[in-house]
Structure 1
Amino acid sequence: MKIRSKLCDIRDFYQSLSSAVKASLWFTVCNIVEKGIALLSTPIFTRILTTDQFGVYTVYQSWYQIITIFATLNLYCGVFNNGLLKFEKNRDVFTSAIQGLSTTITVTLFLVYLVSKDFWNSMLGLNSLYICMIFVELLFVPAYLFWSTRERFSYRYKKIIITTIIIALGSPLLGVVAVLNTEYKAEARVISYVLVQVCIGIIFYIFNAKKGKKFFDANIWLYALAFNIPLIPHYLAFSLLNQVDRIMISKIIDTGTAAIYSVAYSISMMMNIITNAINNSFIPYTYKKLKEKEYDDIKTNTNLLLVVVGSACIVAIAFSPEIIQIFASSEYYDAIWVMPPLAASVYFMFLYPLFGNIEFYFEKTKYVTIASCIGAIANVILNFIFIRFYGYYAAAYTTLFCYILFAFAHYFFYRKVLAEKIKEIDNIYDIKFIVVFSVIILFIMIGMTLVYKLILVRYSIIVFVGFIAFLKRKMVFSQIIEIRKK
C-alpha cells in the first residue's frame, strides 16, 4: 500500500508540473538515454574492432564536429531559436528557408572538396569514402535538428522521445551487425552510423520542405548569415577544445593511440550530461537572484554544487582502472593514465560557465568568444609541442590546463562585468573557496595517479573519504533540498 501511495504521489506531482517543466525533464532524459546507450555500446565496439579501426571511427566523429561548423554554420543553434521568435507568423517558411541555406552551404563546401580532394584527404587523414559520408550526414542531419529544436521550442517532447530511442538503439545495433559481417570493419562502423542518421534526417528534410515550401528567402538568409557568421570563432574554438586532441594524436602518432585516448575521453565526458543538467537548472535560479540582488544565496549554493560535481570527478579519478576495464579490452588499459586529468577537466568545465552565466545575463557575449578562442588556441599550440615529446598522455594534461585557463579567462571577464554592472559588491561567488577546492581536486588527481598500482593504499583512501562523506551526508542532503525548494 505504501508503494502504491508513493507512486500515486509521484504521478500527481508530475501531472501538476507545467508543460515547460515536463518538457525540460523529458529533454534531459532523452539526452541521458542517447549518450548513455552510446557509452554502454563502447565496450562492445572496443572488443570487436581493433584499436586502429576504432580510432578511424573516433577521428571521423571528431572531423565531423569541426566540419559541421563550416558546412552548416551551426544554423540549428542560436539563430534558429531567435528566428522562431522573429518570424513567429511564418515559422514553417523560416524553417524551410534555413534548411535551404544549410543545404546550399554544405553542397558548396563539398564542391570545394571535390576540386582538390587529394589535398583534403591528406590534411584530414581520411579517405574519400569517409569524407563523402561526412557530407552526406551534413546534408540531412540538420533537418532533424531543425525539427527537434522546433519541438523543444513548443514544449512538445513525445515525438522527440521516439526518435531519440530509434537513433540511440539503431546506430549501435546496426553497427554490431555490420561490423561482424564484413572484413571492412572500420568502414562498416562509420557507414552503419551514418545510415541511421541519414534515414531519420531524410524524413524530416522532406517534412520541413513540404511544410514551408521555400528553399530560398533573401531576407531570412541574410538574417541568418549576419547572426551566425560572427559566432563561428566561438563555435570553432569550443569544438577544437573538444575534438582537436584526438585529431592531433592520430596525425602525430597513429589512429590506434587516438582510439585509446578517445575511450578515456568519452567516459570522462559522460559526466558532462549531469553537470550540464545541473548548470542548465542553476541558470534560471542565478538570473532570478541577480535580478533580486540576493547575491549571498548564489554564493552559498554555488559552493555546494561545486562540491557535488567535484566529488563525482574524484570518484571517477579514484576508480579509473576499474572503469576502463569495464568499458574496454586490455588493449585500452593504458588509458587509465589519462583518465585523472580528463576527469578533473570536467570539474573546470562546470566551473567556467558559472562565470560565463554572469556574462550572458548582462549580454556581454563577446567576452565568451574571446575566452573560447584563448582556450582553443592554447590547446592546439600545447598539443603540437607536448604530444611529440610525451605522447598522447600530454593531450589529457593540455586539455586540463586549457579548461583551467578557460576558467581564468571567464573569471577575468566576469570581474569586468561586475565592475561595469554591479558596483555595490566585490564578488558574487566565494572565490577563496573556489580556489582552495580547485587546488584540492588537482592534488587528489595527482595523488590518486601515484597510487594506481598500489591497490591496497588506493582502496584505503577511498574507504576513508567515503566514511567522511557518510558522516556529512545529512548536511549535504539538507542543502540540496534547500536548493531544490528555491
Structure 2
Amino acid sequence: MVKKKLQNIPLGVKAAVIYTMASVFSRGLSMITVPIFTRIMSTSEIGMVNLYNSWYSLLNVIATLSLTSGGFQIAMKDFEGERDQYQSSVLTLTSMMAIFLGCIYFLIPNSWNRITGLPSALMILMLVVFFFAQAQDFWLLRQRYEYKYKLAGALTMGSALASTVLSVIVVLSLNKANSDQIVVGRLYATNIVSIAISAILWIKLYVKGKTIVNIKYWKYSLKLSVPLIGYAFAAQILSVSDRMMISKMVGNDAVGIYSTLYTVSSISLLVWTAINSSFIPYLYQNIEKKGNRIKELSLALMGSYAIIAVMLTFLAPEIVKILATKEYYEAIYIMPPIAAGVFLTSVSNMYSNLLIYHKKTNYIMYSSIIAATVNLILNYICINAFGYMAAAYTTLIAYIVLAGTQAMFARKIRFKETGEKSVYNDNAVFVMVILTIIAALFGLVLYRYTWLRYIIICTGMIAGIKIALMTLKRIKS
C-alpha cells in the first residue's frame, strides 16, 4: 500500500524532495562539525578558513561567468536534442576562464596573496577547484532539470559525508602533530573528494558531448549570463565583504569569531529556503487570479519565519555554548543584528519573486549594487571607528536597503505592468519588519535574564506553530 502511494507521487515532487534533503543534509553536516572545529582550531585558523570561503564565493562569480544561473535551465529547454554538445561546449568557457584567472595569478602571485590574505597553497587550490567544479555543477543542474534524482542525490550526500569525515580526520591528525598547516590541510581535505568527482565528470561531459567550441552555444549562454554577473558579484560583496574587511582591518581572529556566529545566526535560512520554494509556485499560479490569498499567505509565512528567526536569536547563548567555546560566547551580542538582517532576506525574496515574474531581473541587480555599496562604505567607516562587531549592524542596514529598494522597484514594475499597486500588503510587511528588528535587538537585553528569555521563547514557539498550521490549512483549501 505504502509502496503504491510512493509510486504515484509525481516525479517532479520526488526530485524536489530528494534534492531538498540532500541540501539540508550537506548543510547539516557543516553545522554538526562546528563544535568540533571550534575546539581543535584557533579563532585565527577558523578565520582563515572563512576568509578562503569568502574569496572563493566572490571569485567564483567570475570563474563561472554566471553560466550556472537561470540561463542553463533555459538552454536545456532550447537545445533539447543537443544537451550533451551544449554542456561540453560551455564547459570549455568555464575551463578557459579558470586558466585565465590562473595566468593572472601566476604573473604576480605575491601581490594577489597580499590582496586576498591567503597563502599560495590555498590560491592554487582555489584555481584547481575553479577548473573542475563547474563540470559537477553542470551535471547536477541537468540531472535536476531531467528529474534524475537518485544518483545526483546519492552523490551529493555521499561526497558531503566523505569530505566532512576526511576533513575532521586530517585536522585531528595535524592538531596532534602540532602542525602549522591545519588550515591548508582542512581545506584540501574538504575539497579533494569534490575535485576527484568533478574531474571524472569533466572528462565524461567531453566524451559524451564531443564538442569543445561552438560559437552558437557560447553567444547564447553569454547573452543570458553576462547581465547576471553584475547582480551575482554585488550579492556576494554584500554577503562576504564584512569578513574580508575585518581580516584586513582587524585580523583573522576576529574573522573566526564573527564568521562562526554569523553562520549560527543564519541557521534559520534553511527554513526560509524551504518556505520560499513552496510559495513561489503558488504565487506564480495565482498572481493574476481574482480573490487569491497571496496577501494573507505571504504575511503568515513571513510572520512564521520572523518568529523562528527571533526565537533562535533569543537562544543564542545556549546555541553558542554547544557549538563553540568561551572566546565565541563573549561575542554573542552581534547575533541579534545579524539575525534581523537574515530575516530581511525573506522580505527581499518576496519582492524579487515579483521582479522575476515580470522578467525585470535587472532591477534585482540594481538593488544589490546599491546595498553592496552602502555595506562597503559603512564597513570601512564603522569597523575602523567601533571594531569588528560594528559589521553586524552595517550588514543589517545594508539588508534594510536591499529589501527596501526591491520593494520599491517591485511596486513600480507591478503598477506599470498591471495598474495594481502591489501583490502584498506592503503596510503590514513594513510594520512586521520594524517589529521583527526591534524584537531581535531586544535579545541584547534579554541575554541577562535567562528565565524571561525561556518564557518568551516558549510563547513564541506556540504562536509560530499555530500560525504555521493555519497557513497550511489555507494553502490546502
- Superposed pair shares fold, TM > 0.5: yes
Partners of 1:426 and 1:239 in 2: how far apart?
31
SS of the residue 2:148 aligns to: coil
Show CA shifts across 1:120-172 (max 9, x none): 11111111111111001111111101000000000110011211122211122
Query: Sequence identity, in percent?
Result: 32
Please state if 1:354 is matched with 2:346. no
Decide which of 93, 107, 119 is 1:115's aligned counterpart: 107
Residue 366 (structure 1) shift? 1.3
RMSD over aligned CA atoms reads: 1.6
Question: Given the superposition, is the C-alpha separation of residues 166 and 428 from structure 1 closer, same or farther in structure 2, using an over 3 Å criterion?
Answer: same
Partners of 1:422 and 1:407 in 2: how far apart?
22
In structure 1, what is the equivalent of residue 68 of structure 2? 76
The one-letter code sitting in structure 1 at the alignment partner of 2:433 is S
In structure 1, what is the equivalent of residue 378 of structure 2? 382
Please state if 1:411 is matched with 2:407. yes
| Conserved 8 A contact 2:262-2:335 | yes
Residues paired across the two proteins, number: 472
Decide which of 140, 148, 151 is 1:156's aligned counterpart: 148
Q: Compare 182-191 and 140-149 and name the one that shifted more.
A: 182-191
SS of the residue 1:179 aligns to: helix
In structure 2, what is the equivalent of residue 450 of structure 1? 445
Please state if 1:462 is matched with 2:457. yes
| Conserved 8 A contact 1:101-1:215 | no
Residue 454 (structure 1) shift? 2.6
The one-letter code sitting in structure 1 at the alignment partner of 2:81 is K
Question: Given the superposition, is the C-alpha separation of residues 458 and 293 from structure 1 closer, same or farther in structure 2, using an over 3 Å criterion?
Answer: same
Partners of 1:478 and 1:306 in 2: how far apart?
13
Show CA shifts across 1:43-99 (max 9, x none): 111111111111111100110011111122122222221211222111001000111
Partners of 1:476 and 1:151 in 2: how far apart?
32
In structure 2, what is the equivalent of residue 94 of structure 1? 86
Please state if 1:30 is matched with 2:22. yes
Aligned positions of 1:43-62 closer than 5 A = 43-62=35-54
Q: Compare 99-108 and 179-188 and name the one that shifted more.
A: 179-188
Residue 473 (structure 1) shift? 5.2
| Conserved 8 A contact 2:371-2:398 | yes
TM-score (norm 2): 0.95
In structure 1, what is the equivalent of residue 474 of structure 2? 482
Please state if 1:258 is matched with 2:255. yes
Residue 481 (structure 1) shift? 2.3
Residue 476 (structure 1) shift? 4.7
Partners of 1:14 and 1:311 in 2: how far apart?
34
Decide which of 192, 207, 211 is 1:210's aligned counterpart: 207
In structure 1, what is the equivalent of residue 277 of structure 2? 280
Question: Given the superposition, is the C-alpha separation of residues 405 and 200 from structure 1 closer, same or farther in structure 2, using an over 3 Å criterion?
Answer: same
Partners of 2:467 and 2:19 in 1: how far apart?
30
The gaps in structure 2 that reach 5 residues or longer are none
Partners of 1:32 and 1:129 in 2: how far apart?
30
Residue 270 (structure 1) shift? 2.6
TM-score (norm 1): 0.94
Question: Given the superposition, is the C-alpha separation of residues 194 and 412 from structure 1 closer, same or farther in structure 2, using an over 3 Å criterion?
Answer: same
Partners of 1:262 and 1:213 in 2: how far apart?
43
In structure 1, what is the equivalent of residue 334 of structure 2? 338
Partners of 2:453 and 2:275 in 1: how far apart?
29
Question: Given the superposition, is the C-alpha separation of residues 286 and 299 from structure 1 closer, same or farther in structure 2, using an over 3 Å criterion?
Answer: same
Please state if 1:231 is matched with 2:250. no
In structure 2, what is the equivalent of residue 439 of structure 1? 434
Partners of 1:227 and 1:23 in 2: how far apart?
26
Residue 285 (structure 1) shift? 0.5
The one-letter code sitting in structure 1 at the alignment partner of 2:335 is M
In structure 2, what is the equivalent of residue 319 of structure 1? 315
